[in-house]
Amino acid sequence: MQQPAMRFCPECAGPLTVREVAGEKRNHWFCDRCGDLHYDSPKIVVKCFVFHGNRLLWAQRRIEPRAGFWAIPGGFLEGGESMAEGAAREVYEETGIRLAADQLEFYMTGTVTFINQVHIAFRATVESDFCLPGVESLDCRFFTRQECPWSAMAYPEIKSAMVQAYDDLDRGEFSLWQAELGALGYERRPIRDN
Ligand SMILES: [Zn+2]
């Protein structure tokens, strides 16, 4: 059985305990003190592949986890934002590039079960290669496939998704992708549009 992601009740700080519901152990915890029920629902991560010519925008992380390593801009969706608004905000915060949410096109989605996250990735194309690292970034750059810091990727588990983005860029055709990253490894398949 999984440990609770939260050990104490966010309402009253009482200890959380797992109980069976209808004979089943589920991913939710009861507070013994106030009786509240808490769920460890997955967090939603939004990100954006930003292309300029044959280059893709990467940001070098300033903060843990994986400080000093490179990833495409992204982060947790915040309350009150649409997914595209959240992804556009992350691009701005990490690279100084302002994108309107409606410039972002849906590109990839997937679950990362071992860290309890759902990822939603968009893509956008920009006319200028201007970018400026924000407070969460050490650096940001547009890299061709050859220039890309493959050995300093923050999340090498999803390297094949980055390769896919460069492949789509080379083909000039972007499929929609669904990916699953769990105990059995990484698997990605195109989403059919019919
Ligand atoms: Zn409580």
Output the domain CATH number for residue 34: 2.20.70
- Is 191 within the bounds of a domain? no
Summarize pLDDT for 169-182 with one digit per residue, the tens: 999 999 899 988 88
107 and 20, same structural domain?
Answer: no
- Is 188 within the bounds of a domain? no
**Ligand 1 mean position, distance from CA 114 (Å):** 27
Pairing of strands 137-143, 24-31: unpaired
124 and 83, same structural domain?
Answer: yes
Nearest to 137 by CA among 73, 78, 86: 73
Which amino acid, one-letter code, is at 49?
F
134 and 72, same structural domain?
Answer: yes
93 and 27, same structural domain?
Answer: no
Q: Which of 7-16, 63-72, 117-126 is the least confident region?
A: 7-16
Tokens coding 181: 């990253």
Residues in contact with 107: Cβ distance below 8 Å, sequence separation at least 6, in sequence order:
49, 121, 122, 123, 165, 174, 176, 177
> Structural domain tally of the chain?
2
Residue 185's pLDDT band, with cuts at 50, 70 and 90, is confident
**Ligand 1 mean position, distance from CA 119 (Å):** 30
**Ligand 1 mean position, distance from CA 28 (Å):** 13
79 and 24, same structural domain?
Answer: no
> Which pLDDT does position 103 carry in this prediction?
97
Domain limits for position 26: 1-40
Return the residue matching tokens 């492949």: 167
CA atoms of 8 and 17, how far apart (whole Å): 9
**Ligand 1 mean position, distance from CA 43 (Å):** 22
CA atoms of 68 and 82, how far apart (whole Å): 29
Summarize pLDDT for 34-79 with one digit per residue, the tens: 988 888 889 999 999 999 999 999 999 999 989 999 999 999 999 9
> Which pLDDT does position 38 carry in this prediction?
83
- Is 187 within the bounds of a domain? no
Whether the CB-CB separation of 49 and 107 falls below 8 Å is answered with yes
- Is 4 within the bounds of a domain? yes
**Ligand 1 mean position, distance from CA 21 (Å):** 18
